[in-house]
Structure 1
Amino acid sequence: MTKTQTKIGFQHVGGFLRPDVLKQARKDFAAGNIDHDTLTTIENESIKDLVNKEIDAGLDYVTDGEFRRSYWHLDFFWGFEGIDHIHYGEGYNFAHEETRDDTAILSGKIRFNKNTHPFIKHFKFLKSLTDGTAVEPKQTIPAPAQLYIELVRGTNADKIKEFYDTDEDLYADIEKAYHDAILAFYDEGARIIQLDDCSWGLFLDDKFLATPDGQAYANSGIQDILLELNNGAIKDLPDDLTINTHICRGNYHSDFAFAGGYGPVADTVFAKENVDTYFLEYDSTRAGDFEPLAKVSGDKRVVLGLITSKKGELEDRQVIIDRINEASKYLPLDRLWLSTQCGFASTEEGNVLTEQQEWAKLALVKSIQKEIWR
């Protein structure tokens, strides 16, 4: 297991609303009106501006806002050798909206190549912006479990037998590809990496679990597979590298995919996943109560996502403080912290709020952190 940070520090989950100039540049690039170098220049300037704003907001760890991505997860998958970008024909059905239909599918054996995966270059640029400052860069990537869920999605699973004789061979390649990628980030100066993970949400939603498909899924033993993929990828890492995870219920244009408390996965992910800190969504009654926090093992921490990133209205400060105190009945206050429940833009569409509102949300988070933990 990796070494727990002395301080969690003030950090945002990851994604920020894309500025209009960047949105337009991506449209222009897709239409063939600008070349990739021009797009990269605009991305660079947008990220520089964002990092300055993050520093001004008092963040201890900064991200590039995921500004170079269309999706929080798929862009990273497409960077691996052996994985292709295709259109599935239908998107994921969220509570009120269907996503775009992009997906990742096997086209060969999965490998990580530091010379071709674009995220390494992306991190190097972010690191260059933080050198000589008091802040540290944080790299966010989708969890290994999330890649597996995408590869076995519907007809995507048909491709697996073309390239892998056994499931165990697939698991081994996913773990190695991720392990190699994490070490490549480390070599470039990353000391905090966050695994974003929606895969566990499938076990939380009572409506889904009540269906025959949901019951079959819940009883398939797949929780153990997901746990092994995540733990296998992060074992034997440097002691000064912090690995966090954000367990998400879906965040697309202010919509959600799953409801339900963490109880059905607590014995697996809270007790056995070898991360340092869990970022958990607790911004609505859909997330259930805090009782599952009692299953968080060892000295691992929990960052309570009590401030929603899905809408702009500010939460009642005292309500948030009261909920933190309620959570402390199950996990000591010195192992708790506060953040927004998710990023403000898990995809380039972004959530339905303004840039001014996202910064106001972060200001509220920081002020409550200072009051509760001093």
Structure 2
Amino acid sequence: MCQNSVHHYEIVGSFLRPESLKKAREEYAAGTISEDELKVVEDQAIRELVAKQKEIGLNVISDGEFRRSYWHLDFFWGFNGVEHNVMDQGYLFHGEETRADSARLTGKISFNPHHPVFEEYKFLTEIADRTPVRQSIPAPAQLLAELIRSDNEEKVDAFYPDRELLYQDIAKAYRETILALHALGCRDIKLDDCTWGMLVDKNFWTTMTNGEYDTQALQDLYLRLNNDAIVDLPEDLHVTTHVCRGNYHSTWATSGGYEPVANTLLGNQNVEAFFLEFDDERSGDFEPLRFVPKEKQVVLGLVTSKDGKLEEKESLIKRIKEASKYVPLERLSLSPQCGFASTEEGNILTEEDQWKKLSLVIDVANEVWGSTN
């Protein structure tokens, strides 16, 4: 996994946006401050976030995704051939609907040497002062899912009547972006991926497909896209993936254990570690972990990021031991189940709650794996 996996505690990456940043974004959207003025606020918020992450003892840090509105869409908009569009309806979560932003094609997809992710990474490493950083990006499969969502697919039909060429271009654009990040010094990349979380929910999927629940062909396609994007990368580049079932304003999109996708995802995706959501009964049991190859690691997302109530330490330790029946303890780590703000709205908890959650993760990891982590 990442070069710091010996510590056995991890973060998923996004953090609650401070009020100063929320206010600046509102002012920028209203046209009362410039892009440069917004960036000054973003820079300061990220500096303060990095200092706090170091203060509590995190061994790998992020920029909190403070320059993004969404965990995935902003990244998609950075490719050549992809634009920001607004649909008639947002994503439907349990009890809530997101904003209606999306991503659709304006032409063939290709690598953009001026993609915003490069400036995001460079600024973070400059202020990290040798503390390892992890760059989170949405998975290639997630881009495909967005491009064929509802009316977006009309643009795909226009530019890619041969879908095979679309799959090749997605993988190529991703791989070139990842290699460009590596050239800047990046050695730790995480692919965030909700596509598998959609496939595990039989009720969700049968509704989407008018009663059918045979997802193997789509699983194979998602696996191919993700693996093709990370084939033949430099040996010192560590690639992991995070899989959840939706995380928006403390709500969720789908339910179900990993069993329906475990053989394909856990058994065959060519990443070094899987960050997996296990914070409640919706996530199922640990049995699907039997598919994880012996050389790979699993980060157990046992601590929910959806509310501020602290989990019982003893309960977390018990669940870690349960998971170790399928993956040896030395190949397990602990983390929150997802980020604290997959979109700029953030989950419904306070910044104090957020840091208490992460301190709990560190405390439990030290108790289970030893304080010398």
Aligned to 1:83: 82
SS state at 2:347 partner: coil
Among 125, 128, 138, the residue aligned to 2:126: 128
Aligned to 1:149: 145
SS state at 1:105 partner: strand
Q: Does 1:263 align with 2:262?
A: no
Aligned to 2:59: 60
Aligned amino acid, residue 320 of structure 2:
I
> What are the ranges of 5 or more consecutive residues in structure 2 without an aligned counterpart?
none
Aligned to 2:202: 206
SS state at 2:92 partner: coil
Spell out, residue by residue over 1:289-320, the C-alpha distance to the aligned partner (whole angstroms, 9 max, x if none): 00000001241100000000000010011011
Aligned to 1:308: 304
Alpha-carbon distance in 1 for matches of 2:4, 2:58? 16
Question: Shift of residue 281 of structure 1?
Answer: 0.3
Q: Is the contact made by 2:10 and 2:334 (CA closer than 8 Å) also made in structure 1?
A: no
Question: Shift of residue 277 of structure 1?
Answer: 0.6
Question: Shift of residue 278 of structure 1?
Answer: 0.4
Q: Which moved more, 1:119-128 or 1:210-219?
A: 210-219
Alpha-carbon distance in 1 for matches of 2:224, 2:320? 31
CA 1:124 to 1:223, structure 2 compared with 1: closer, same or farther past 3 Å?
same
Q: Is the contact made by 1:22 and 1:43 (CA closer than 8 Å) also made in structure 2?
A: yes
Alpha-carbon distance in 2 for matches of 1:34, 1:6? 40
Question: Shift of residue 6 of structure 1?
Answer: 6.8
Alpha-carbon distance in 2 for matches of 1:284, 1:67? 27
Aligned to 1:229: 225
Q: Is the contact made by 2:103 and 2:146 (CA closer than 8 Å) also made in structure 1?
A: yes
**Percent identity (aligned):** 53
SS state at 2:58 partner: coil
Among 335, 341, 354, the residue aligned to 1:358: 354
Instruction: Give the TM-score of the pair, scaled to structure 1.
Output: 0.96
Aligned to 1:332: 328
Spell out, residue by residue over 1:48-102, the C-alpha distance to the aligned partner (whole angstroms, 9 max, x if none): 0000000001111100000000000000000000001110110111011011100
SS state at 1:173 partner: helix
Q: Is the contact made by 1:11 and 1:62 (CA closer than 8 Å) also made in structure 2?
A: no
CA 1:280 to 1:84, structure 2 compared with 1: closer, same or farther past 3 Å?
same
Question: Shift of residue 8 of structure 1?
Answer: 4.9
Aligned to 1:29: 28
Q: Which moved more, 1:159-168 or 1:180-189?
A: 159-168
SS state at 1:346 partner: coil
Aligned to 1:40: 39
Q: Is the contact made by 2:4 and 2:59 (CA closer than 8 Å) also made in structure 1?
A: no
Aligned amino acid, residue 239 of structure 2:
I
Aligned to 2:240: 244
Q: Does 1:17 align with 2:16?
A: yes
Q: How does 1:265-280 map to 2 (within 5 A)?
A: 265-280=261-276
Alpha-carbon distance in 2 for matches of 1:183, 1:82? 19
Spell out, residue by residue over 1:303-344, the C-alpha distance to the aligned partner (whole angstroms, 9 max, x if none): 000000000010011011000001111111111110000000
Among 319, 330, 342, the residue aligned to 1:346: 342
> What are the ranges of 5 or more consecutive residues in structure 1 without an aligned counterpart?
none
Aligned to 2:97: 98
Instruction: Give the TM-score of the pair, scaled to structure 2.
Output: 0.96
CA 1:284 to 1:266, structure 2 compared with 1: closer, same or farther past 3 Å?
same
SS state at 1:141 partner: strand
Q: Which moved more, 1:95-104 or 1:4-13?
A: 4-13
Q: Which moved more, 1:251-260 or 1:160-169?
A: 160-169
Q: Is the contact made by 2:223 and 2:269 (CA closer than 8 Å) also made in structure 1?
A: yes
Q: Is the contact made by 1:50 and 1:64 (CA closer than 8 Å) also made in structure 2?
A: yes
Alpha-carbon distance in 2 for matches of 1:361, 1:141? 23
Q: Which moved more, 1:353-362 or 1:216-225?
A: 216-225
Alpha-carbon distance in 2 for matches of 1:371, 1:335? 16
Q: Is the contact made by 1:112 and 1:177 (CA closer than 8 Å) also made in structure 2?
A: yes
CA 1:336 to 1:91, structure 2 compared with 1: closer, same or farther past 3 Å?
same
SS state at 1:43 partner: helix
